[in-house]
Structure 1
Amino acid sequence: MTIMKRGLLSAAVALAMAGTAFSGPALAAGKLTLSSSQDPGSWDPVDTFLVAWAAVSTNIFDGLTYRGPDMELVPGLAESWEELDEGKRIRFTLRQNVAFHNGEPFNAEAVKYTFDRLLGEEGAKGPQRSNYIAIESVEVIDEYTVDMKLTTPDPVLLTKLAGYGAMIVPPKYIEEKGEDFFNLNPVGTGAFKFVSYEPKVGIKLEANADYWGGAPKLSELEYRFITEPATAVAELQAGRVDIVIPPIIPIGMIPVIEADDNLEIVSVPGPTVDALRFNTRDGITADPRVRKAIIMAVDRKTIVESILAGQGAEIATFQSALSFGHDPELAPLPYDPEAAKALLAEAGVAAGSPLQIDIRGNDATMNEVAQVVASFLQMVGLNATIQPYETNVLLNDIIPQGKTGAMFQQKWGGWTFDYDNTAYSMYHSGEKWNPYETDETLDEMLESQRPLTDRAERERILKEIGAYIADRALELPLYNSNAIYGVSKRVQNFVAAPDNRLKLTDVTVE
């Protein structure tokens, strides 16, 4: 039977995060091997947006704040903080007696360096800087106090500081070794230290016995990059992998794992949503009538029930029900193939018109979903073909450069659980994930909600943004999927994270 869990921080982790530094190292034992479907290619926090990066690097790096599987925000490298000047300045009191893995001390200068770098030339090369543009500067008050000055209040900033680009990095190490070296040899303050990295193969970590939050109970972590779902499951069955990290397990393989007495499925509702977004610049999908026709031609409810086997939910906008800004009253366009045919005829689309759907080649579930979508589109007179790409190629070249077909897969974690993080990245002019649209009205709406401290007003605008995007039919919203882990029963104290950000300090193996 599939185990449905809502992640909760263990008492030990919560105490360590919210309390004082650990008093001494403990002897760690045991190796845990995890399968991840993607090699991020760089371990620098400013270089990435990938959930696959966070699944590993949550154990290497720390932020000023920390958000665990229970979604509660607690102290990280900052012991406390207070908002000043009506939210335009945040003062952080930093944790003392913390060292980076290379022995370099963590202090206020490291925090300032991290954000100067993120907001400077190096950060400009990656996708993370736009999440932190509310930060004007970081000023050192004393060795363990910093002030973060904001151009405008950012209601999501404290959550953003718990992940990705805001992870604190070692100034001297980076300056001495260089950016390229740091990309491949990461150093943080986290519970595990970097050992080795082989591109496309895996990364190995060892326990940081001096971790401020308490020494890990494991001695080693190994992440293997296994792109083929069947291979990942086979390695789990053979005992060469202990945990398969989402989203690689196909729905059809869940019964195989459940049938093995040594394995279990751990499934938790998460933020990840899937959509087929439209090329709104070229071809027939430049016409909003065609886009709406395509949406109405596809029976999304059947896809969720049949292909996902209920491991997800239909969505009306590109966000989960857990997202701040989600509007439960906004219904998706109905499945109505006759109305779809009428709209296509009104738009002058000829029967048999070709349409290409670009997807991640190693996403077995989406491969199946895309085939079903193509069948639905054929029934209304469109000839859809599927073009699979290697994931990094699709994400780093095809989509950002505006070289997609008529439709392209977008999978988004929405790790802040706030619609702004998704909507600004997907729809604001000039953003990496928006290669086709320039919409001044939408830009103004997106910008207007960012500085608001009135939670209700901000939620109202986010709902309006969702409705506006749905009306313009910028994507075919498909589903919000559960985070599905395959886990060996030799693994103890494992807590599944909805956003794949697994902190493995308390895990043991039998």
Structure 2
Amino acid sequence: MKHWLSLAVLLLGVGFGAQPAMSQPTLKNLVIEQGSDIVSLDPQLEIDTATGRVTQNIYDSLFRVGPDGNPVPHLAVSYRLVDPLTWEINLRHGVKFHDGEDFNAEAVKFSIERSRDQSIKPRPRLAAYYTTFADVEVVDPYTVRIKTKEPDPIVIRRLTGLFGVMLPPKYIKKYGNDILKTKPVGTGPYKFVRWDKDESLVLQANDQYWGRKSGIERVTFKPVSEITTRIADLKLGRADIISDVPPDQIKSLRETANVSVKVMMSSRNIHIVFNPLNGGPLADRRVRVALTHAVDVDGLIKNILGGHGRRIATLFIPETAGFDPTVKPLSYDPALAKKMLAEAGYPKGFEVGFDVPSGRYVKIDEIAEAIAGQLAAVGVTAKIHRYEWGGFVKRWAARKFSGLAILGAGDEMFDADQLLTSRLITNANYGGFYSNPKLDKLILAGRKTTDVAARMKIYSDIQHIIQEDAPILPLYQQPNIYGIRSDRIQWKPTIDEKIDLDQITVVGH
């Protein structure tokens, strides 16, 4: 029997990079500016990008996302499929948490079980991704076995990046489950120093880190929603890395001395979520499809993103395992949109709220304004409500958002199951605004199917259902555009949008 991506093969690894030479240059403080502040320091409660860029450096995971999106051993050193329901993982020796506690198999068992603990409030964001897990068995201090309820071809992907972060059991048992929200302890390359909400967050290098050391003593993350401020800070040397650079600023930055720009596609898709829970127009499939025809996505990419972006047909990007290239985006056709709205009983259109996480994604405010204009052209008045990211997340969690909300979904597992679990299954982790029993059945079937061809067929069927029923309005795959102070550091961005501080190289002065 074929196994998905040959995950049953024993994989050996030694992690990323090697220890730098003793003469490596050092940097006292690295400043990173991003568009929003973090939400929580507990890595199992929030996994949004702004938060993950911080927590992924405090905590280590069993596996890291490799350059091609596939898992690479990190705190794990190897794994094997013992039988269809049992995965054995061998762990790295000699690793300690920041408080001195040993990392071992007990820590792995504790971390996975905590992520599934329904008694923790708020509910861990990771819980929905571990529903196939039955038990975690400690074989010896550095070997664990994960037993699943049914075959699960992506167990290793479920333990990669932010999904596989390891926590200190003794520390949490001593101080309580809430301690990580304000005083995080991990095994990562940097230790937590302080967090002044909406101002800055400071990390200090972990001198006892088992892996590569970058030579950067301190790192300061700053939430700066105004992109003009981020760009000015980079040019003036007040920031070393800035995220979400607008495409129209690339040329200016590249012409600035000691500044470089890195551009690549991210694992994130941008889409609009429909909220049909209160009934009204959005509860009608015809209306949702009509609105999809009303938005000129290619025009948004060309005119606002400067051509940096890739149109998507559903939730999936080409790098997602399960992506079907034969499912094409719906056409931009305002005339058809008007016709469908009239057939649905809205010949004069209607008014709807449109929630936007201001500054959270590349050019998102301009994108939202343009979409509102395109919807107005077919008679739909979209009233924009802007929120800073933290406020947006709170409204989202409370299911209090307006009829439309523009949002990004990162595919950190690079597998269809993550996106479907987080957005479209009934009571989805980051949704819960849509329910389709037929879709649910297929999602659960795909989760346990190990045959590659059969799994691809399931996800192809799912993509056709998504397009036909239109629970979301797909837009584009977001570009990753960073500005970097090339006179201080060298760094290559990764598709998962994270910033692994131990992979940055300090440039000599």
Normalising by structure 2, we get a TM-score of: 0.91
Alpha carbons 1:28, 1:207 under 8 Å: kept = no
Deviation at 1:358, TM superposition (A): 1.2
**Partner of residue 148 from structure 2, selected from 150, 157, 161:** 150
Alpha carbons 2:135, 2:147 under 8 Å: kept = yes
- In the alignment, structure 1 segments of 5+ residues that lack a partner are 1-13
Residues 1:493 and 2:490 aligned together: yes
Alignment correspondent of 1:84:
82
Alignment correspondent of 1:222:
220
Q: Within 5 A, what are the aligned runs for 1:408-447?
A: 408-447=405-444
Question: Quick one: percent identity of the two aligned structures?
Answer: 32
Q: String of CA shifts for 1:138-191, please: whole Å, max 9, x gaps.
A: 111111111111112222221221222421111111122333332112111111
Alignment correspondent of 2:188:
190
Alignment correspondent of 1:45:
43
Alignment correspondent of 1:6:
none
Alpha carbons 2:246, 2:481 under 8 Å: kept = no
Alpha carbons 1:271, 1:413 under 8 Å: kept = yes
Q: Which deviates more from structure 2 when the two are superposed, residues 299-308 or residues 59-68?
A: 59-68
Alignment correspondent of 1:276:
272
Deviation at 1:40, TM superposition (A): 2.2
| Closer/same/farther in 2, CA of residues 414 and 18 from structure 1, 3 Å limit | closer
Deviation at 1:229, TM superposition (A): 1.7
Looking at structure 2, the residues matched to 432 and 15 of structure 1 have their Cα atoms a distance apart, in angstroms, of 32
Match of 2:98, SS state, is coil
Q: Within 5 A, what are the aligned runs for 1:24-423?
A: 29-30=26-27, 31-86=29-84, 88-120=85-117, 121-122=119-120, 125-245=123-243, 248-281=244-277, 282-363=279-360, 365-397=363-395, 399-423=396-420
**RMSD between aligned residues:** 2.2
Match of 2:102, SS state, is coil
Looking at structure 2, the residues matched to 197 and 493 of structure 1 have their Cα atoms a distance apart, in angstroms, of 26
Looking at structure 1, the residues matched to 173 and 24 of structure 2 have their Cα atoms a distance apart, in angstroms, of 33
Deviation at 1:310, TM superposition (A): 0.8
Match of 1:351, SS state, is coil
Q: String of CA shifts for 1:11-66, please: whole Å, max 9, x gaps.
A: xxx985179x9799988721221112222232112111211122122222111122
Alignment correspondent of 2:8:
none
Looking at structure 2, the residues matched to 128 and 221 of structure 1 have their Cα atoms a distance apart, in angstroms, of 27
User: Counterpart amino acid of 1:254?
Assistant: I
Alignment correspondent of 2:7:
none
Q: String of CA shifts for 1:183-204, please: whole Å, max 9, x gaps.
A: 1121111112222222222221
Q: Which deviates more from structure 2 when the two are superposed, residues 257-266 or residues 66-75?
A: 66-75
Alpha carbons 1:117, 1:123 under 8 Å: kept = no
Match of 1:58, SS state, is helix
Residues 1:502 and 2:483 aligned together: no
| Closer/same/farther in 2, CA of residues 448 and 37 from structure 1, 3 Å limit | same
| Closer/same/farther in 2, CA of residues 23 and 263 from structure 1, 3 Å limit | closer
Alignment correspondent of 1:469:
466
Alignment correspondent of 1:5:
none
| Closer/same/farther in 2, CA of residues 473 and 352 from structure 1, 3 Å limit | closer
Alpha carbons 2:421, 2:429 under 8 Å: kept = no
Looking at structure 2, the residues matched to 284 and 23 of structure 1 have their Cα atoms a distance apart, in angstroms, of 60
| Closer/same/farther in 2, CA of residues 433 and 378 from structure 1, 3 Å limit | same
Match of 2:267, SS state, is coil
Deviation at 1:314, TM superposition (A): 1.1
How many equivalent residue pairs?
A: 492
- In the alignment, structure 2 segments of 5+ residues that lack a partner are 1-11
Q: Which deviates more from structure 2 when the two are superposed, residues 23-32 or residues 95-104?
A: 23-32
User: Counterpart amino acid of 1:447?
Assistant: L
Looking at structure 2, the residues matched to 192 and 62 of structure 1 have their Cα atoms a distance apart, in angstroms, of 10
Looking at structure 2, the residues matched to 164 and 15 of structure 1 have their Cα atoms a distance apart, in angstroms, of 19
Alpha carbons 1:25, 1:210 under 8 Å: kept = no
Deviation at 1:349, TM superposition (A): 0.3
Alpha carbons 2:13, 2:77 under 8 Å: kept = no
Looking at structure 1, the residues matched to 359 and 23 of structure 2 have their Cα atoms a distance apart, in angstroms, of 40
Q: Which deviates more from structure 2 when the two are superposed, residues 432-441 or residues 23-32?
A: 23-32
User: Counterpart amino acid of 1:185?
Assistant: K
Alpha carbons 1:264, 1:487 under 8 Å: kept = yes
Looking at structure 2, the residues matched to 375 and 52 of structure 1 have their Cα atoms a distance apart, in angstroms, of 29
Looking at structure 1, the residues matched to 490 and 66 of structure 2 have their Cα atoms a distance apart, in angstroms, of 14
Looking at structure 2, the residues matched to 197 and 285 of structure 1 have their Cα atoms a distance apart, in angstroms, of 40
Match of 2:473, SS state, is strand
Match of 1:59, SS state, is helix
